[in-house]
Structure formats: C-alpha cells, structure tokens
Amino acid sequence: MNAPETITPTAASTAALPPGSDRPALRYQSGFGNQFETEAVPGALPKGRNSPQRAPLDLYPELLSGSAFTAPRVENRRTWLYRRQPSVVTGAFHAYEQPFWTSGAAGGVAAPPDPLRWHPFPMPGEAAAGASAQGVDFVDSIKTLVSNGDPDAQTGMAALIYAFNRPMTGRALMNADGEMLIVPQQGGLRLVTEMGLLDVVPGEIALIPRGVTFRVDAHDGAARGYICENYGAAFRLPELGPIGSNGLANPRDFLAPVAAHDAHADGPCEVIRKTGGALWRNQQSVTPFNVVAWHGNLTPLKYDTAHFMTIGSISFDHPDPSIFTVLTSPTDTHGTANCDFVIFPPRWLVQEDTFRPPWYHRNVMSEFMGLIHGQYDAKPEGFRPGGASLHNCLVPHGPDADAFEAASTRALTPQKLDHTLAFMFESRWRFRPSAWALQGGSLDTNYAACWSGLKDNFKAT
C-alpha cells in the first residue's frame, strides 16, 4: 500500500471527487505568498503568539525561514510549524550515492556551442532506462540534464528529469540546495509535504520551497516530468508593468495545502538530504510528516497553467516570450533573471503581415525547453513530449526548415495553437550538460539537420 494512504488530511479535504476520478479531491488554500493558517487538529495553533511557554497540545513550535530575517517585507517568507517532534530529532547522516543528480556548473561537462536536443527520456523499464527489477522511486530516478551556477553560492539552477515507477514508502527528501519546481509531463503525482498534501497532474506545476521535507508518489504507478532545481532567489510572480494589476499567472490560482499529519507513520523514515551538491541519508524513528498545524507564507504551492491569462500581439510582430513568464527568480541585476519559468500555452495567433512563430535569434540568456504535450510551433516534428532542448547563450536557433516554409506561406487568418504546452527555463547563466545528458542515449545527434533545408532565397532586384 502506498504510504500517502496513511496520511490523515483534515476532514474537509476529502469532500468532493474531481470529475472522472475516484481520487478524493484535496482541500487547498488559495493565494501566492499569502499568510495562511491551518490546523489538522482544532486548537493546535497558538493564539496571539508564535512560541508560548508550552504550545497547545504539547506540540513543538519550529520556525522555517525562506529568506533572511531582514529581507524586505515583500520578499520575506517564513512559516511556523507545530509538530509532534522537532526536525532536529534525526540521527546521523551518511553519504548517499545518487550519481545522476549532479549540481551546478561544476557537475557538468564541456559542451560544444551547438544547439542540443533530446528525444523523450525513457520511462523506467524501457530499454535505455536500464533494468531494475524493483523499479525506481522519485528521488533515485532524478537525473541532471543541464545545470549552472553553484548551490553553495546560492546561484544558478539545474534542469532535472524524473521517471519513476515505485512509491517513496518510508522515505522523504529535503533539499537545502534549492527550491524545486516540479513540472509533470506524464502521470499525476501525490506530493506529501510537511505542510500537507498536493495532487498535481500534467499541465499543473508544484513548487516546493528550499528546506521543506516531502515525498513524491505516482497516482497510477509511473510518472515522468521535469524539475527546475533553483539554487537562487525564490520564485515569485513577475512584475506586470503596463499590463496592470491583472493577468499572466494570477495570485489566487496558486494553491497551498492544509495541515495534515501522518497519524499512522510513527515508524522509521529514511530522509535524504541534499546539501552542497551532495546527498546524505539517515534512518530516523521520527516521521518528518508530523506537523499538526502551521501558519505563515512559506508554503508548497501548486498551479494549473490552464489558469494562465495569456497575452499576445493583436496587431503585428512576434512578441518576446517574456510575456509568458509564470514565475521568476531574480538576481541582483534588475531584469536579468537567475531563472524565468515561461510557458507556451494554447493561444490564438492573429497578427497581420507577420511571420508568426519565433524569429531566428541568438539570445544572451540561455534557454532550456521541454514539451508537456502537443506540438511546439517552431519545431512541429523533432521536439517531442518528454524530450528537451538546450540553446545556450548566443547559440543561434529558430524554426526548423519545414516550420519556416509553412509560416512564410500560410494565409494569415486567425489561428488557434491548441492542445499544446511547452515550457522554458531561461537563465542568465550558461548551462553545462551532465555527462549522462550527452552520453545516456537520449541525445538527438541529428538535431542541427532540421535547419539544413533553409536555402538562400535572396532575390536581388
């Protein structure tokens, strides 16, 4: 039996069934960065103070901070947890071997300045994934594709892939190196976190703050997806500038869990901690999922990209993709992100006298892309769901030859790009691919050929 079934969410969280599902819908609280309060047992939250001499129900108060104490109020994130035992009760940690989850630029290898693309990464059990009779769980399945920066310097990010078919029963993960933005591509996920439960399906994303302990299991046996491991400043909503006070990802569509403590899992738990690019494990008698109540604004979140209010050109020209930014991790250089999380959702194209797909370009920012489903208009064929591409700093790229031909000649009637969802992790820092990304068998060694049909059409008049 999967461990999540032993979790006891508050009664109201099992209220309704989502259409077409036999999975009881979880209850959430809405708002990005809101100050929430939630208790799985009534009366567990202290009133009017954070750490009374003796907390209600004899729980231990514990503070988890996501920003320096003195960070500006708008960026300040912290949550008070009221738990049966504090997180310090762990026992010793020992080195844990997970050679594929490498970190930072130092964990990568030199790559030529070619555009890179990967075929869909194998699901466990598929030939290229390697044979494993017992299967593999979320944490052991993680493989770094590309990475930059340095987790010790709290700068940069990694793009990871996961593909697993075993629950994390009796295990949990805590990442001190970075926040984890999980982008499911195939299969729904149940996330059990210290602060409660989240269900996410492809098309939705989950955001786990740095330092929050959690476990990931598949709804239906197996799942695959992408992760942005963000070593830098926490993701936040982008400024809207002249767009005004509404639009793009609206704050109320981000959902936080309600408190849920694992009443039955008092048994031992192995906690994997990632810190300084290395993984460590312990065996503790205390479940980390023992938070009975919490209040604060540092929380796991989920977001359904179907709620993204997409803005585009209603006159002419192809706008910069920054209009599709869902979340941004800024750096100290204004407007130059450690990472922008950008989506390419279903949308109408109506521009007149315009080449509508992305233009050919050389971008000083580095672009890692993935595809959740459907087709991406610049690469209708070779860029496939569950695969990826990398166009590093100033590497030329743009529509493949077939897409160029089609978009140069089509009638410019209003056109719906439908049944599609691509995304980009865009970073100011150049990415270095992992050795596995280059040699693991998924690299599309013929990628550059997609542009070889671009002829010299110049006609001197």
Ligand X SMILES: O=C(O)Cc1cc(O)ccc1O
- CA–CA dist 376, 108 (Å, integer): 27
**Residue 367 in contact with ligand X, rule: CB under 6 A:** yes
* Phi-psi sector, 374: left (phi>0), alpha (psi -120 to 50), beta: left
Question: Concatenated DSSP letters for 197-224?
Answer: EEEE-BTEEEEE-TT-EEEEEETTS-EE
- CA–CA dist 252, 146 (Å, integer): 32
- CA–CA dist 297, 395 (Å, integer): 39
- CA–CA dist 442, 30 (Å, integer): 39
- CA–CA dist 105, 34 (Å, integer): 34
Task: Give yes or no for a contact between 165 and 125, defined as CB atoms under 8 angstroms apart.
Answer: yes
CA-nearest of 231, 158, 126, 197 to 442 is: 126
Work out what residue 31 binds among Fe ion, ligand X, none; the CB cut-off runs from 5 to 8 Å by kind. none
376 is in an annotated binding site: yes
Q: Of 384-443, which residues contact ligand X (CB under 6 A)? A: 391, 397, 424
Q: Which stretch binds ligand X (CB under 6 A): 144-152, 160-168, 174-182, 361-369?
A: 361-369
Work out what residue 424 binds among Fe ion, ligand X, none; the CB cut-off runs from 5 to 8 Å by kind. ligand X
State whether residue 327 is helix, strand or coil: strand
The contact set with Fe ion (CB under 5 A) reads 367
Work out what residue 163 binds among ligand X, Fe ion, none; the CB cut-off runs from 5 to 8 Å by kind. none
Min CB(64)–ligand X separation in Å: 36
Q: Is-catalytic flag, 295?
A: no
Catalytic position from the list 318, 334, 373, 419: 318
Question: Concatenated DSSP letters for 299-316?
Answer: --EEEEGGG-B----SSS
Q: Pick the closer one to Fe ion by CB: 137 or 367.
A: 367
By the 10 Å C-beta count (0-12 exposed, 13-18 middle, 19+ buried), 113 is classed as exposed
295 is in an annotated binding site: no
Q: Pick the closer one to Fe ion by CB: 229 or 367.
A: 367
What is the total residue count of the chain?
Answer: 461
Q: Pick the closer one to ligand X by CB: 280 or 355.
A: 355
**Residue 321 in contact with ligand X, rule: CB under 6 A:** yes
With CB atoms as reference, the residue minimizing the distance to ligand X is 358
Q: How many CB atoms lie within 10 A of CB 446?
A: 10
Min CB(391)–ligand X separation in Å: 6
Min CB(397)–ligand X separation in Å: 6
Q: Which stretch binds ligand X (CB under 6 A): 1-9, 82-90, 247-255, 358-366?
A: 358-366
Min CB(382)–ligand X separation in Å: 13
Q: How many CB atoms lie within 10 A of CB 373?
A: 14
Min CB(357)–Fe ion separation in Å: 11
Work out what residue 378 binds among ligand X, Fe ion, none; the CB cut-off runs from 5 to 8 Å by kind. ligand X
Work out what residue 281 binds among Fe ion, ligand X, none; the CB cut-off runs from 5 to 8 Å by kind. none
Output the known binding site for homogentisate. Answer: 367, 376, 397
Give residues in contact with ligand X (CB under 6 A).
Answer: 318, 321, 358, 361, 363, 367, 378, 391, 397, 424
Active site residues: 318
